[in-house]
Amino acid sequence: MITFFAIPKPFVGHEAIIQTNAARSWSRTHPDAEVLLFGNEPGIREAALDLGLTHVPELDRNKNGTPFLNAVFDTAQRMARNEIVCYVNGDIILFPDIIEAVAQVRRQHDRWLLLGRRVNMDVTELIDMDHPDRRAELRRTASEIGDLAPMNCVDHFVFPKGMLLGRIPPFLVGRPFWDNWMVWNARRMGIPVIDATDRVTSVHQNHERSWHIKGSLHAQEGWENYEHIGSGLRLYSIANATHFLRSDGLHKRPGYQFDGARALLGKVWERIIRFDLRSPSARR
């Protein structure tokens, strides 16, 4: 039915707990679910072995050792035994409702990109994902007390296998902007982008933002990702979805056809404001 793939961080300390919870949850979404864990960072091989998942150790990396995202997407689409694939961040817990959402979408479209907003929660211990009641309790708690993340936080992309094969630029993993490009590119290709927030529960387990300590390297590689986008007008997010998925099916988002024009108009106004602020009259 579905193949999940992820590029985890090292399975150490709190990261080991939340990534184990996440990977277990993916494998429990459907009896035929497949999970691919990419990378050779500490603990990934052992976690894959312990959880009965597939480990893909070799990654294409840049001179700093940062993996290239396009190679991961291409390899996952080639390896997947299922027709639907899902890239998901290593700290995200998912539930069987993602399978139901995919079934809804497939009844109406052959090509599509499904995503949604996450709910942020503090999780400090391993969760028994084999127990349906425990999963249901977690899902209920997330909906009641979890913090809904902003539209620019995209943590999972679901799509038919092969749809993005060879189409993704050499973005760097763990750096910004590539997820914005994913939404823009689907829109450019005329592919429905579906906001399934109301149908798919996505729990982000809060953790330390350890990448901040990398400082200038992170910033430099972030700008490399931005260069692959080519324009700030392509910084799309969940807000630029073409459809909403509800319990009764897909609904078109009113006015989605004008997103490009709105972005261009916003860019024009931004330049006008900057020009006014630089003018002598504005400094008096």
209/87 same-domain check:
yes
What whole-number distance in Å separates Cα of residue 110 and Cα of residue 16? 37
223/284 same-domain check:
no
277/191 same-domain check:
no
70/187 same-domain check:
yes
Q: At what angle do helices 178-188 and 216-229 cross, to 10 degrees?
A: 10
Structural domain boundaries enclosing 17: 2-253
Q: Is 102 helix (H, G, I), strand (E, B) or coil?
A: helix
Amino acid sitting at position 85: V
283/229 same-domain check:
no
273/223 same-domain check:
no
Q: What is the mean pLDDT of residues 59-82?
A: 97
| Ranges of H-type helices in the chain | 13-27, 44-51, 69-79, 97-106, 132-145, 178-188, 216-229, 259-278, 280-283
71/184 same-domain check:
yes
From the list 35, 41, 56, the residue with the least C-alpha distance to 9 is 41
Q: What is the mean pLDDT of the chain?
A: 91
- Total of domains in the chain: 2
From the list 150, 247, 119, 249, the residue with the least C-alpha distance to 192 is 249
From the list 213, 212, 122, the residue with the least C-alpha distance to 176 is 212
152/281 same-domain check:
no
Residue 76 tokens read as 């996952």
Residue 122 tokens read as 């503090």
186/284 same-domain check:
no
Q: What is the model's pLDDT at position 257?
A: 79
The lowest-confidence range among 131-140, 174-183, 212-221 is 212-221
Residue 160 tokens read as 């038919």
Q: What is the model's pLDDT at position 263?
A: 62
pLDDT band at 212 (very low <50, low <70, confident <90, very high): very low
Q: Sheet of 147-148: strands edge to edge?
A: 92-93, 203-205, 119-121, 147-148
153/262 same-domain check:
no
Q: What is the mean pLDDT of residues 119-126?
A: 95
274/219 same-domain check:
no
131/267 same-domain check:
no
Q: What is the model's pLDDT at position 282?
A: 40
pLDDT band at 210 (very low <50, low <70, confident <90, very high): low
| pTM, rounded to two decimals | 0.90
What whole-number distance in Å separates Cα of residue 178 and Cα of residue 224? 10
